[in-house]
Structure 1
Amino acid sequence: MKAVINSQVVLARVPEGPVAPYLGRFAASLDTTGYTVKWIHRQVLLAACFSQWLGRETVALQDITADHLTRYLRYRARRLRPKCGDHGALTHLVDFLRHEGVVPEARLAVPERSSIEHWARAYEVYLREERALAKATIVNYVPFVRDFLKHRFGAGAVELSCLSAADVVHFVRHQAPRLHKKCAKLMTTALRSFLCYARFCGEVDVDLAAAVPVVPNWSMASIPRAIAPDQVRRLLASIDRRTATGRRDYAIVLLLARLGLRSGEVASLQLDDIDWKAGQLTVHGKSGHRNELPLPAEVGRAVAAYLKSGRPPSTSRYVFLRARAPACGFQGASAIGSIVRHRLQRSDVDAPTFGAHQFRHGLATEMLRRGASLGEIGDLLGHRHPQTTMIYTKVDLEALRELALPWPGGEL
């Protein structure tokens, strides 16, 4: 006798076992996250077979563990050819049952934290909650702090009150030669930040941050690698906007090129950040900084085209979603970088890099060429300090020519 799970899934027999009452809602959850009918049917059928096995093994829902998934897949492999994605599908089912409250959260043995890990985690919380630093900054700082504490205390207990200026200098001298200059500079910045935190906690009485040696790394030593306007036009023209993915990627590249957004700002953009009536866009930048930007008509049309005829149905509030199920927002800035790299590789554009930041440099360079001031450029790019924008003076060739001295022995 056939069993109708929902309007999309019909099974050849009535499902049995403890999971059977939840198969309808499981199918509906798959549908809302953008899975195709074929994949929904496959996952529901696998869930029904798993449920039947649980019934024969007399395993209750509240007793399901990861070991049961492994045991069932081994049992299934003796009868049917294993398919790629079976374990992931069952994991998805268990996550759904946990969300429904019928399967308890997995209880994992939590290893005892070392003294180094205790201070590293405490410092991480300080950066996130007290300093409101961006996630990327925290990810960069904390490993250097772990290395410093391990270098000084080894496997023993960490006593920050025992730190001295000699410890700080010895660590920097030991590590800096092994690192790239920019990475070494980042290490010293992280170290100063941690030593300020140690003093903030009252563990250190003296200003050890002042003892951190300076790593030579000339400010603004390089010229920004900026993509040219013609290259941007050719890249945009190479994107096929007849597909949903093409409409999404076209809108993403326009946001990078016309507004100079960072990858993370594009990935974190939400539907509520767009004010269609006022023609404005709210950008969430570094350290929680918010910036209101005008939404150019060209960009607005591209985003609207994606929202109307490209964005998969989803309850997510993120503007841009994954092209494949589950339909959810991107994990972070790296996803935007991957999209840019993929589009550049498929085009005939010989761009300076394969990264997304070159669009930001390209916009600033073009604005400067058209007569915009550094203040205007900094406001658009969301720079909090004027010194950050000063690097673009290097690409203002006309102004630099006026400052150039005559060549000795040349014509007067």
Structure 2
Amino acid sequence: MTSETNSNDISLPASWKVMPAVLVAVGAVCLLLSVGLCFLNTHEGNRAEGVQFFMHSYLTNYMYCLSFGLGALFFVLVQFLCRAGWSASVRRLAEIMASTLPLMAILFLPIIVMVLMTNSVSLYEWNTDKPEGLIAAKKGFLNGPFFAVRSLVYFLVFIGSAYFVYSNSRRQDESGDAKITLKIQAFSGPLIMLYALAISFASFDWVMSIDADWYSTIFGVIIFAGSMLAFFSLLAISCMLLQRNGKLVKYVTVENYHDIAKFMFGFVMFWAYVSFSQYLLYWYGDIPEETIWYQIRINTDNGWPYIAVILLFCHFVIPFLGLLSRHVRRHRTGLFFWACWLLIAHWIDLSFLILPNAGPVESMFLVGHLLGFIGMVSIFLAMLLLKSINVPLVAVRDPRVPEALSYHNIIV
């Protein structure tokens, strides 16, 4: 195969290169419509309620898109640390996903601005001039300036790690120096430890502290599990769409899809395990400040109990059974279906974690929330495509690529 053919096989389809502008326009329009519909959900035009509804929706959709980059970053670091060969041909796609984290830092600015403008209209109940009860006792940690500083630290860890890996990987494209792989491998262990701390505390700050009276030490792990599941689902879909457009035909095999599907299957179980573990401990303890979080999601008549049941089946039982078969995990069409299914389930999961604290919602808000989802995802995809232009979609000079092209899953 000629170098020209190889170059064409690992580049973005020409028709995709004009899509970012369209996606940004769609994203901007949808976000503006989302703002308007969230305000229509208020009682008697209450502006404060409109801001509350929109910011809860914004955070939900923001965390959804952020989860792709966070999952991709962890995947890349682990692959280098473990000297994995099977993933060398798909790892560049993960590196590109992780490189969208600077954009996500910019999209986090509206939340930072709201937190620093301490007033009665806030996403977080601790963000007030006169905190009471348990919230007052946590004021040393839960305050606007310290929240902003911690968020900056989290993004420095995420963006710094992603930049270190991606820049060195691109440098290897030019030089072919195998020592670069060893360099990234040497730093991957410490970076994973920093990543674990950052994603745990970021989950506490950005999502869990919406209800500041409640706490869960396993909450960060739940966010992590959802992020990994979302990443692997998006990775599978990306590979299949690229191959349908004549790209990566030589580089992504059924063995790669099989392994990606096994990770999806594993994180379906892991998400269910940690989510049920959290629920079981609080149900058994039955302490009011611990069970209040579940009270507004399960023991109410506002529709969230139905979402809880939907999550049980759509995020665990059904995909567990669907991905159980080896045949499905190696079948592109079947895997594509389950990847799309899990991406939808992940959005419902994040909505379940965040939206109930916004108060009773009506149909207009749900439409606005869906438009906000389309808007945020459109902007994320635009950045993902921009990052992919003029970049090889495979790290062709990585010394482990030949192993990725020749390995086979062992049947035992």
Q: TM-score range by the shorter chain?
A: under 0.3
- Structure with more relative contact order (C-alpha pairs < 8 Å, separation 6 or more): 2
The structure number with the bigger radius of gyration is: 1
The structure that is helix-richer by fraction is 2
TM-score by length of 2: 0.23
